Amino acid sequence: ELTMTAPQNSPEIGREITAAGYRTNVHDHGADNAKSDVAVMMIHGSGPGVTAWANWRLVIPELAKNRRVLAPDMLGFGYTERPEDNTYNRERWVKHAVGVMDELGLEQVDLVGNSFGGGLALALAIEHPQRVRRLVLMGSVGVSFPITKGLDEVWGYEPSIENMRRLMDVFAYNKNLLTDELAEMRYQASVRPGFQESFAAMFPAPRQRWVDNLASPEEDIRKLPHETLILHGREDEVIPLEASYKLAELIDRAQLHVFGRCGHWTQIEHAGRFARLVNDFLHEADQAAGGK
- What residues are labeled active site? 115, 236, 264
The whole-angstrom separation of Cα 246 and Cα 145 is 10
Sheet of 109-114: strands edge to edge?
15-19, 22-29, 69-72, 39-43, 109-114, 132-138, 227-233, 254-259
Crossing angle of helices 116-127 and 90-103, in 10° steps, is 70
The whole-angstrom separation of Cα 265 and Cα 169 is 11
Q: Which amino acid is at 51?
A: T
For residue 170, the tally of other CB atoms under 10 A from its CB is 18
The whole-angstrom separation of Cα 231 and Cα 239 is 12
Which DSSP symbol is given to 132? E
Structural contact between residues 77 and 45, judged by C-beta atoms closer than 8 angstroms: no
The whole-angstrom separation of Cα 249 and Cα 259 is 18
Structural contact between residues 237 and 262, judged by C-beta atoms closer than 8 angstroms: no
Q: List the alpha helices (DSSP H) in 156-253.
A: 161-171, 180-190, 195-202, 208-214, 218-222, 241-250
